[in-house]
Structure 1
């Protein structure tokens, strides 16, 4: 009886081990799996679209006299999350390189806070001598609209990227890309006759930058899906100075102003 039980127990253990080994083999075996869209990477041109979740912020260099009180920054930028969308055009260069152009539209809002009033008034209690010989207005009790500026931007972004990718493993392929951007701000107010004294923040319309991106391409039966992370950094100074007759509470406190963005991009090709 004892020997029979040992035989039955041995058979159960052996069967369980065989089933487990088969499951393990099926999980990691790739030789017999189907490869989706095998010929898509051999096409000279391909197209698609993308959606993006953005986080835009301002990188600022402040005027050491008007924009800083010792080591304290008197102008602060608060980033907000926004969204964008665009199209994809890709040209195959060789087995490891592609050239991409991805024009898109990004809707952006940021907040600038100017805590400069008390400091400037301490430096110039009677106002600043203006180029025309007048003395600037001294604002002793600024309202909220003078201190906090909501900067809305709509960027037409045209990046040209060089993509390098590794070998395809089953239905996925990692890649990295980098390139240059031209960005037009449709809400720049660059040509406006008003400035911050009238609660109008002005920036440049035409801008340039560079981008870097990493992601993984996943091949499905009918399309290719790519989640990616992209950083975009403006290279020009976007700041448009206030008029010479405007008190130095706002743009005079900033030396350079440049946008930077981090994006989660979802691509469909």
Structure 2
């Protein structure tokens, strides 16, 4: 699903660029939009969250050397946008939103049912710098990058129960860096901006089990989230 959405976004950008370059269109939509000091909007989109594990010791019983496997699924993003124009090519952007996602999580062990389903609701708060290429007819490519933090409302960080009682625990607060690209499409009534972005956690998010030999946490040096966001912004 993630690859299909990314491919669809790329094809939309390519088809729009081709139409603008070779159709000879000269009617400009939203001509004064980029002259605004401040602009506002909202976004809707999709996400796919995964975990990246660093292990203390190699696991010889696993073909991959991993103790844990993650089943990724497609989630949903929604949020608001505040955009400050810095100059003709740079914007400073704040995109507070809420991300909903579910991941499957399992320890590689044949003699026990180790599957966990982790449903997460993140309040995501990114501060981004957006670099815009020069506008060509009614489209404008851009790249975006920055830092962010999130509050995991389903973290179970303060839950006294751990995996021995069926509770997987993560930190409530996480910090990330983000990088992505997209295209601004100037339509008759509004600006539509499809984009794809990689999001990578910096800190360790795992709350260890009480048992130091836990199959879930005992061999984990660090666990950090990584995600792909595909968003459609309306301004």
Structure 1 residues 248 and 29, CA gap change in structure 2 (3 angstroms): closer
Matches within 5 A, 1:1-269: 28-30=23-25, 33-64=26-57, 67=59, 69=61, 72-116=65-109, 142=112, 144=113, 147-244=114-211, 248-269=214-235
Q: How large is the Cα RMSD of the aligned pairs?
A: 1.6
| Pairwise CA distance, 1:253 | 2.6
| 8 A Cα contact 1:228 1:264, kept in partner | yes
- What are the ranges of 5 or more consecutive residues in structure 1 without an aligned counterpart? 1-26, 119-140
| Residue aligned with 2:34, SS | helix
| 8 A Cα contact 1:68 1:74, kept in partner | no
| 8 A Cα contact 1:97 1:165, kept in partner | yes
| 8 A Cα contact 1:62 1:68, kept in partner | no
| Pairwise CA distance, 1:249 | 1.9
Counterpart-to-counterpart distance in 1, 2:60 and 2:203? 22
Counterpart-to-counterpart distance in 2, 1:166 and 1:208? 29
| Residue aligned with 1:176, SS | strand
Structure 1 residues 159 and 68, CA gap change in structure 2 (3 angstroms): farther
| 8 A Cα contact 1:75 1:253, kept in partner | no
| 8 A Cα contact 1:45 1:91, kept in partner | yes
| Pairwise CA distance, 1:229 | 0.5
| 8 A Cα contact 2:81 2:96, kept in partner | yes
| Pairwise CA distance, 1:170 | 0.6
| Residue aligned with 1:197, SS | helix
- What are the ranges of 5 or more consecutive residues in structure 2 without an aligned counterpart? 1-21
Q: What is the number of equivalent residue pairs in this alignment?
A: 213
| Pairwise CA distance, 1:247 | 5.0
| Residue aligned with 2:218, SS | helix
| Residue aligned with 2:154, SS | coil
Q: TM-score, normalised by structure 2?
A: 0.86
Counterpart-to-counterpart distance in 2, 1:28 and 1:251? 58
Higher helix share goes to which structure?
A: 1
| Residue aligned with 1:241, SS | coil
| Pairwise CA distance, 1:189 | 0.2
| 8 A Cα contact 1:180 1:211, kept in partner | yes
Higher strand share goes to which structure?
A: 2
Counterpart-to-counterpart distance in 2, 1:172 and 1:248? 53
In our comparison, the structure showing a higher alpha carbon Rg is 1
| 8 A Cα contact 2:77 2:231, kept in partner | no
